[in-house]
């Protein structure tokens, strides 16, 4: 027999390749929707993962570059542990052996009246900074070349000029304390990163204008050639002790990375949820395809095909689904990242990368990773059906009704039970590099184990239901539906798995987000015990109230009691962001009145013993326990006011606002140790019968009232929840994606199974069952399957939510929360899935029952 020739190459065509192509295209033509759903599921998972990676990568790189631009080409930086430090150390460092150049800097987040974000102002020594950070030098007007040294001149980056609507030659009003500092915009900068809002002025002018005389923020050091930077750093750190920190540029990258890593990783993991669902849909697609083509594959085996050829054929179908889905996902992910960066910036609601303007860049390594991940997930989903197709015995597979035998291996419960057991054990392991790696693996194992148990669960559930209903003289429709579900649990479990995988993930994420939101709401209400809250700045560190302003606020008619707060930063580790030091009025005997404690505080006897030993009480957030190892009753040394002082951990409190750690101490202790008598916030309790608006009006009429911002508990609570919802916008999007994929999966699975049962429906028609009864049977089957899938999915999702709430979140963000069940939302989703499953089964059955009964069973004659 002559082989067919390819008309273009004139070479004989390979008949095996032609047959494989025919089988592939024939299956896709027969069930295009099923293949399309699997491709879309893979594409959505890849798109979300790749988009999040591009957004985070662009924002992180731009933020790191902007931060490095502030230190220029310096080898080392010396910073104070508590922000500002005395400039007396500068001459010592400038003349230190091995130092080629030392450049002092005063870096302030200056409060801008009418703005909620601060302006970063750098005071520099122009002559020295020109050799280390030339991009930060101001560009004055040619007629006024000495403006870089003027005491009233400030230079703005292009982004700052646009933000503040301040052009060269104009005036800029900035806040210091409760007063206004007016500066002249003398020009722009040599170079600044896109979106970077910074301002530069002479360091002496900055110290004078903002009342920081004799204070510095950092000293940039350029070493002499041949000096070992690592050895010099260690020696200098030992010389300066713990009141200073010596760091390199990579330490800044580490701080930035540590600050946002947990948020970025959790977003990426959540984005892969869609990929997990897509993997199961590929499995469902391939399993149903193998079942439907079982006689054809058996015939091919009889005609000479080898098992390896069948294995490659099924894996080829799955890999093509993965390739198409991954390619589509990469394009969608790039478009998603470009859109998000253009309209929403790079922080994805987390607030970590503000003040920069990143742009999306194609990331080839990330693209290859997610392409391989999408393709690999599809191949993994095709593996079990491919092995079944290759192992099937031709003689048994050619017989009609052997489809359920192909799924018998799925009913083996031991692998699924092993996954559940291993997942439970992994929840007890600690985090890896401050990330809940084992928690993520445990979630995946629980989902795999739960889905793997579905054949056995379906068999037990529907067999038990059939026995319960056996003696109740049911009509033909429920009798046939229960008989079908009880006797083919393998095929039922495939449909159940689609519902289970999507619904369990929906339940888990909904419980986690709801628990967090309710816990944040309760936390805010516990903190907001006053009637009016006053602050001198919505953002920045230069807005403050001195003792005179504090007394004036407390003396306003209608104010019964005023408490004040001062916050500052405290650097404890060069590789981590600074912790927040909060000084406020705290009753050491009853700290629970003002602090949301997460456990019992230190006993009065232990507190008295520590005080007798000279240790002052502090109360640390949960993040300090995880990041720095603080424990209740522990004695620690903290640098405050340029000296180290002894403290004792008197309690641990819950803090949802600062995941990098926070320490609270009594305001009187802070003022005595630091000499700083200014405050930034005030909480006012009103006298009985006093009107809040009247009191606020009286405070606005104070001499410094224009510099104050007022808010009431309801406003703060609403703003906090708004910020929360914005931070979890991506999570809400993922929940919607999971719902959509679940609905598509239910539709595709029921459609495929219904069309595969055409002969069964034809036989039922021959024995007298009407089309309406068959449609009712399908709707009942769909409803029962979905109900069981949602019941098991709820249990599985609830178990996963426990891991998310009590393991993943504490290990990622270092805070705890209480469990809360969003019954109303879960009920709405469950009802939607239940109705859609019944409707889908009904619509799919319309096509199957429309085929003539004789044609439907002709293969059996």
The answer on pLDDT for 728 being more than 80 is no
Position 591 in a domain: yes
Supply the mean pLDDT for the chain. Answer: 81
* 3-class state of residue 262 by DSSP: helix
User: How many other CB atoms are there within 10 angstroms of residue 93's CB atom?
Assistant: 18
Going by pLDDT thresholds of 50, 70 and 90, the confidence category of residue 633 is: very high
Q: Where are the alpha helices (DSSP H) in 728-770?
A: 729-756, 758-766
Through-space distance between the first and last CA atoms of the chain, rounded to whole angstroms: 34
Going by pLDDT thresholds of 50, 70 and 90, the confidence category of residue 652 is: very high
User: What is the average per-residue pLDDT within 322-351?
Assistant: 79
User: How many other CB atoms are there within 10 angstroms of residue 564's CB atom?
Assistant: 22
The CA–CA distances, whole Å, from 124 to 120, 156, 205, 217, 351 equal 13, 14, 9, 11, 28
The answer on pLDDT for 79 being more than 50 is yes
pLDDT of residue 743: 65
Q: Tell me if 113 sits within 8 A of 707, measured CB to CB.
A: yes
Of 711, 741, 768, the one marking the end of a domain is 711
Instruction: State the pTM of this model.
Output: 0.79
Position 775 in a domain: no
How far is it, in rounded angstroms, from Cα 808 to Cα 415?
A: 25
pLDDT of residue 78: 92
Going by pLDDT thresholds of 50, 70 and 90, the confidence category of residue 1 is: very low
Q: Where are the alpha helices (DSSP H) in 436-488?
A: 437-452, 454-469, 476-487
- What tokens were used for 3? 């082989």
pLDDT of residue 346: 61
Q: Tell me if 468 sits within 8 A of 701, measured CB to CB.
A: no
User: Within 13 A of 282's CA, how many CA atoms are on the CB side?
Assistant: 37
- What tokens were used for 96? 């230190």
Q: Tell me if 680 sits within 8 A of 536, measured CB to CB.
A: yes
β-sheet with 559-570: strand ranges across:
635-640, 643-653, 616-621, 662-666, 579-584, 559-570, 681-686, 532-535, 709-711
Q: Which of 86-90, 121-125, 166-170, 466-470 has the lowest mean pLDDT?
A: 466-470
More confident residue, 242 or 264: 242
User: Within 13 A of 21's CA, how many CA atoms are on the CB side?
Assistant: 6
Q: Tell me if 747 sits within 8 A of 840, measured CB to CB.
A: yes
Q: Which residues, 6 or more positions from 487, have their beta carbon under 8 angstroms from its beta carbon?
A: 404
How far is it, in rounded angstroms, from Cα 351 to Cα 264?
A: 12
Please provide the size of the chain in residues: 861
The answer on pLDDT for 485 being more than 80 is no
How far is it, in rounded angstroms, from Cα 658 to Cα 379?
A: 42
Q: What's the helix, strand, coil split of the chain in %, to 5? A: 60, 15, 25
Q: What is the number of structural domains in the chain?
A: 2
Closest CA to 66 of 358, 395, 349, 272: 358
Position 307 in a domain: no
The secondary structure element, H or E, covering residue 686 is strand 681-686
pLDDT of residue 615: 93
pLDDT of residue 738: 64
The answer on pLDDT for 650 being more than 90 is yes
Q: Tell me if 660 sits within 8 A of 263, measured CB to CB.
A: no
pLDDT of residue 4: 46
How far is it, in rounded angstroms, from Cα 432 to Cα 442?
A: 14
pLDDT of residue 802: 93
Q: Which of 90-104, 372-386, 844-858 has the lowest mean pLDDT?
A: 844-858
Position 645 in a domain: yes
Q: Which residues, 6 or more positions from 663, have their beta carbon under 8 angstroms from its beta carbon?
A: 570, 579, 580, 581, 582, 618, 619, 620, 621, 624, 638
pLDDT of residue 663: 96
Position 46 in a domain: no
Highest mean pLDDT among 117-121, 314-318, 657-661: 117-121
Burial label, 550 (beta-carbon count in 10 A; 0-12, 13-18, 19+): middle
More confident residue, 387 or 849: 387
* 3-class state of residue 584 by DSSP: strand
Of 228, 247, 266, the one marking the end of a domain is 247
Query: Which tens digits make up the pLDDT trace of 2-54?
Result: 444 454 545 555 565 666 666 666 666 666 766 777 788 788 878 878 887 88
Closest CA to 710 of 496, 559, 568: 559
Position 320 in a domain: no
How far is it, in rounded angstroms, from Cα 464 to Cα 475?
A: 18
User: What is the average per-residue pLDDT within 370-398?
Assistant: 73
Contacts of the segment 609-613: beta carbons below 8 A, 24+ positions apart: 610/635, 610/648, 610/650, 613/646
The CA–CA distances, whole Å, from 521 to 168, 515, 651, 664 equal 45, 10, 22, 21
User: What is the average per-residue pLDDT within 228-246?
Assistant: 88
Write b or e for each residue in 580-604: b if 16 or more Cβ atoms lie within 10 A of its Cβ, otherwise e.
bbbbbebebeebeebbbbeeebbee
Position 12 in a domain: no
The answer on pLDDT for 73 being more than 90 is no
Query: Which tens digits make up the pLDDT trace of 175-231?
Result: 998 889 999 999 999 888 877 889 999 999 999 999 999 999 999 999 999 889 889
The answer on pLDDT for 266 being more than 80 is no
The answer on pLDDT for 784 being more than 50 is yes
pLDDT of residue 538: 66
Q: Which of 29-38, 183-192, 474-483, 749-758 has the lowest mean pLDDT?
A: 749-758
Of 204, 231, 247, the one marking the end of a domain is 247
Measured over all CA atoms, what is the biggest interatomic distance in the chain, rounded to whole angstroms? 108
User: What is the average per-residue pLDDT within 451-470?
Assistant: 81
Phi/psi-derived region of residue 698, left when phi > 0, alpha when psi is between -120 and 50, beta in every other case: alpha
pLDDT of residue 469: 78
pLDDT of residue 665: 95
pLDDT of residue 859: 47
User: How many other CB atoms are there within 10 angstroms of residue 213's CB atom?
Assistant: 9
The answer on pLDDT for 334 being more than 60 is yes
User: What is the average per-residue pLDDT within 281-308?
Assistant: 69
How far is it, in rounded angstroms, from Cα 659 to Cα 813?
A: 6
pLDDT of residue 860: 44
The answer on pLDDT for 811 being more than 60 is yes
User: How many other CB atoms are there within 10 angstroms of residue 812's CB atom?
Assistant: 23
Going by pLDDT thresholds of 50, 70 and 90, the confidence category of residue 730 is: low
Position 60 in a domain: no
How far is it, in rounded angstroms, from Cα 505 to Cα 740?
A: 12
The answer on pLDDT for 486 being more than 60 is yes
- What tokens were used for 155? 């230079």
- What tokens were used for 115? 């703005």
The CA–CA distances, whole Å, from 94 to 6, 87, 89, 489 equal 80, 11, 9, 79
What string of DSSP letters covers 600-628? ----HHHHHHHHHTTPEEEEEEHHHHHHH
> Can you give the residue range of the structural domain that contains 560?
532-711
The answer on pLDDT for 274 being more than 70 is no
User: What is the average per-residue pLDDT within 385-393?
Assistant: 68
pLDDT of residue 432: 85
Query: Which tens digits make up the pLDDT trace of 581-611?
Result: 999 999 888 898 889 998 899 998 999 999 8
For the chain, what is the radius of gyration of the CA atoms?
34
């Amino acid at each position: 027999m002559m082989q067919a020739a390819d008309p273009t190459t004139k070479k004989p065509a390979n008949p095996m390749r032609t047959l494989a192509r025919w089988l592939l295209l024939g299956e896709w033509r027969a069930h295009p929707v099923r293949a399309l759903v699997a491709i879309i599921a893979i594409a959505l998972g890849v798109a979300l993962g790749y988009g999040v990676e591009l957004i985070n990568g662009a924002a992180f790189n731009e933020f790191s570059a902007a931060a490095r631009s502030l230190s220029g080409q310096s080898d080392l930086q010396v910073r104070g542990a508590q922000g500002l430090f005395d400039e007396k150390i500068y001459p010592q460092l400038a003349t230190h052996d091995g130092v080629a150049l030392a450049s002092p800097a005063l870096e302030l987040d200056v409060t801008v009246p009418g703005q909620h974000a601060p302006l970063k102002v750098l005071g520099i020594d122009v002559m020295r900074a020109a050799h280390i950070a030339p991009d930060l030098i101001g560009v004055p007007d040619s007629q006024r070349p000495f403006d870089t040294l003027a005491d009233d001149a400030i230079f703005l980056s292009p982004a700052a000029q646009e933000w503040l609507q301040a052009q060269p030659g104009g005036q800029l009003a900035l806040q210091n304390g409760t007063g206004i500092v007016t500066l002249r915009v003398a020009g722009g900068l040599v170079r600044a990163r896109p979106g970077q809002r910074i301002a530069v002025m002479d360091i002496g002018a900055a110290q004078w204008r903002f009342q920081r005389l004799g204070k510095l923020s950092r000293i940039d050091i350029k070493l002499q050639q041949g000096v070992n930077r690592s050895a010099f750093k260690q020696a200098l750190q030992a010389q300066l002790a713990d009141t200073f920190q010596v760091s390199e540029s990579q330490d800044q990258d580490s701080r930035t990375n540590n600050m946002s890593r947990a948020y970025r990783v959790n977003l990426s993991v959540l984005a892969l949820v869609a990929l997990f669902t897509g993997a199961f849909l590929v499995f469902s697609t391939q399993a149903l395809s193998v079942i439907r083509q079982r006689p054809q594959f058996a015939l091919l085996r009889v005609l000479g095909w080898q098992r390896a050829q069948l294995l490659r054929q099924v894996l080829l179908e799955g890999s093509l689904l993965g390739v198409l889905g991954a390619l589509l996902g990469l394009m969608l992910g790039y478009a998603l990242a470009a859109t998000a960066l253009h309209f929403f910036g790079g922080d994805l609601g987390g607030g970590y990368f503000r003040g920069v303007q990143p742009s999306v860049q194609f990331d080839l390594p990330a693209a290859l990773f997610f392409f391989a991940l999408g393709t690999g997930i599809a191949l993994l989903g095709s593996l079990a059906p491919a092995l079944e197709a290759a192992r099937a015995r031709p003689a048994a597979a050619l017989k009609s009704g052997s489809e359920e035998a192909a799924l018998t291996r799925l009913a083996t419960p031991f692998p699924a039970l092993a996954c559940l057991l291993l997942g439970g054990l992994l929840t007890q392991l600690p985090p890896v590099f401050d990330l809940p790696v084992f928690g993520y693996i445990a979630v995946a194992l629980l989902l795999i184990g739960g889905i793997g148990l579905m054949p056995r669960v379906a068999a037990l559930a529907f067999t038990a239901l059939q026995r319960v209903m056996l003696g109740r003289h049911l009509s033909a429709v429920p009798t046939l539906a229960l008989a079908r579900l009880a006797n083919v649990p393998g095929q039922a479990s495939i449909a159940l798995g689609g519902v289970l995988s999507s619904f369990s993930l929906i339940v888990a994420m909904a419980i986690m987000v709801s628990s967090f939101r309710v816990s944040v709401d309760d936390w805010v209400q516990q903190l907001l015990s006053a009637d009016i809250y006053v602050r001198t700045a919505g953002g920045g560190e230069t807005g403050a109230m001195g003792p005179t302003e504090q007394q004036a606020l407390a003396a306003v008619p209608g104010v019964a009691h005023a408490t004040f707060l001062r916050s500052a930063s405290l650097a404890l580790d060069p590789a981590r962001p600074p912790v927040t030091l909060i000084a406020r009025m705290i009753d050491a005997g009853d700290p629970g009145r003002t602090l949301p404690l997460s456990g019992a505080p230190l006993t009065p006897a232990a507190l008295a013993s520590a005080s007798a030993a000279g240790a002052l009480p502090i109360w640390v957030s949960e993040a300090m326990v995880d990041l720095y190892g603080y424990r209740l009753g522990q004695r620690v040394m903290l640098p405050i006011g340029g000296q180290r002082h002894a403290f004792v951990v008197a309690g641990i409190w819950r803090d949802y606002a600062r995941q990098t750690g926070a320490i609270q101490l009594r305001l009187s202790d802070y003022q005595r140790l630091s000499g700083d008598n200014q405050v930034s916030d005030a909480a006012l309790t009103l006298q009985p019968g006093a009107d809040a608006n009247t009191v606020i009006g009286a405070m606005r009429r104070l001499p410094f009232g224009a510099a104050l911002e007022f808010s009431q508990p309801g406003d703060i609570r609403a703003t906090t929840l708004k910020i929360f919802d914005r931070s979890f916008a991506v999570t809400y999007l993922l929940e919607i994606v999971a719902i959509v994929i679940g609905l598509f999966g239910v539709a595709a699975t029921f459609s495929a199974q219904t069309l595969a049962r055409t002969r069964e429906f034809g036989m039922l028609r021959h024995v007298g069952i009407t089309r309406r009864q068959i449609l009712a049977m399908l709707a009942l089957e769909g409803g029962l399957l979905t109900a069981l899938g949602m019941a098991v999915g709820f249990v599985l999702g609830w178990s996963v939510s426990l891991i998310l709430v009590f393991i993943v979140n504490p290990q990622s963000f270092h805070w705890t929360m209480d469990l809360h069940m969003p019954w109303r939302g879960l009920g709405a989703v469950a009802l939607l899935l239940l109705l859609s499953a019944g409707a889908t089964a009904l619509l799919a059955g319309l096509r199957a029952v429309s085929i003539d009964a004789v044609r439907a069973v002709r293969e059996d004659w």
